[in-house]
Structure formats: structure tokens, C-alpha cells
Amino acid sequence: MLSPSRVPALRFIASCKLPTPWGEFTMHGFEEASGQEHVALTLGVVDDGAPVLVRLHSECLTGDALFSLRCDCGFQLEAALDAIAEEGRGALLYLRQEGRGIGLINKIRAYKLQDGGADTVEANEQLGFPADMRDFGIARDMLSELGIHQVRVMTNNPRKLETLNRVGIAVTEHVPLKVGRNSHNDHYLNTKAAKLGHLF
């Protein structure tokens, strides 16, 4: 059972039931010292010491909620929930890091540059940002609060695996999520593989 955290960087706030088409999850709310909020969804028993199927999912309003075909985010979110439901046990961390950390409005600006021919990395750089500003270290505190210390990670991004291992969360398996490729995001996915090292 979670209790409010005393860790200054991250506070556990509350948990509640969350019925979804994939089953009834428990939703856990967290808040950083900066005020940024994150949530985790868990299904089944996840604090028994055994490796847990986990997805670290960065917020993508356009893909997750507005069904954009420019990325594969919404497809990955649904595939992760499918996998957790099929297993009957797992966790999805929903990290509020829109647009690889640049925010929604800057993401729209980046999309406009992509409409003009820039790729996803070039667009971020033209706006004065690194290719990826996300901090996956916050996941360590969330996982620790949930009692999860060994994970089977659903991702195509090797940076997530490296970060978790570096901060003391043991990655026992890499589970690729090869979903959602289409004519609108083919160049985007190829760029992520070529320039960001994503594994497709």
C-alpha cells in the first residue's frame, strides 16, 4: 500500500480505481517538486519482487487523445495496455513530457517545420532544443513507490533501458513495441531509428 512520499523530488498523492476497456486498473497520482504531475496505472500484484511488465509512456496529446497518425504513440499506448491486460499484471507510467519534453505548443511549431521538410530531430534543433529533452529518471521514484524493482520494459527506445539500469531498476527483458507504422509516420520512425537509435 502506498503512503505519501517524503522524497522531495516526487510525492505520491493518492490512488483510485480506474475502469477501462482493458480491465480495472489502479491509478496512482504523483507530483514533482516543480508541480509537474504524473500518473501510473497498475494491474494485479506488482510489488511481489518478480519482474513486472512495464511501459514508460511520455504524454502525447496528439497521438494518445486526438488519434494522430504522425507518430506511433497512441498505437504504443494501446498495445502496452493490451499486453498488460493479457498478462493480468503490469504497470504503465504516464509521464507528462509532451513532445519529447518541449511541450505541446512547441511540438506544434515543430510539426510546422516538419510540414516544410525538416525531420523530427531537425525541427527540435531549429527551435533551439535538443533532439530529446525527456528525463526518464523520474520513473525510478515512481517504480520504487509502487514496489517495483525489476522490470520487463515495453519500448523501442534504448535510452529508457539505459536510464533504468543506471538508476538502479533492473531491466530483465526488453519487449519491443512494433506497432502503428503508416504512410504518415514512416519517415518519422525511420528518423528515430537513424538519429535516435530506436529499435524497430
Tell me the catalytic residues: 132, 134
Measured CA to CA in angstroms, residue 61 lies from 122, 162, 174 at distances of 21, 26, 26
The position carrying cell 524497430 is 200
* 16 is an annotated ligand-binding site residue: no
Cβ(100)–Cβ(127) below 8 Å? no
Q: Which of 23, 75, 83 is nearest to 53 (CA)?
A: 83
CA atoms within 13 A on the CB side of 178: 7
The residues facing 17 across adjacent strands are 26
Three cell numbers at 42? 497498475
* 198 is an annotated ligand-binding site residue: no
* 100 is an annotated ligand-binding site residue: yes
* 88 is an annotated ligand-binding site residue: no
* 155 is an annotated ligand-binding site residue: yes
* 59 is an annotated ligand-binding site residue: yes
* 63 is an annotated ligand-binding site residue: no
CA atoms within 13 A on the CB side of 71: 24
* 174 is an annotated ligand-binding site residue: no
* 71 is an annotated ligand-binding site residue: yes
The position carrying cell 517538486 is 33
* 187 is an annotated ligand-binding site residue: no
CA–CA separation, 26 and 44 (whole Å): 9
The residues facing 136 across adjacent strands are none
167-182: burial string, b at 16+ Cβ within 10 Å, e else: eebebeeeeebeebee
* 20 is an annotated ligand-binding site residue: no
* 55 is an annotated ligand-binding site residue: yes
- Residues making up the binding site: 55-60, 71, 73, 76, 98-100, 120, 155, 160
- Residues making up the binding site for Zn(2+): 60, 71, 73
- Residues making up the binding site for GTP: 55-59, 76, 98-100, 120, 155, 160
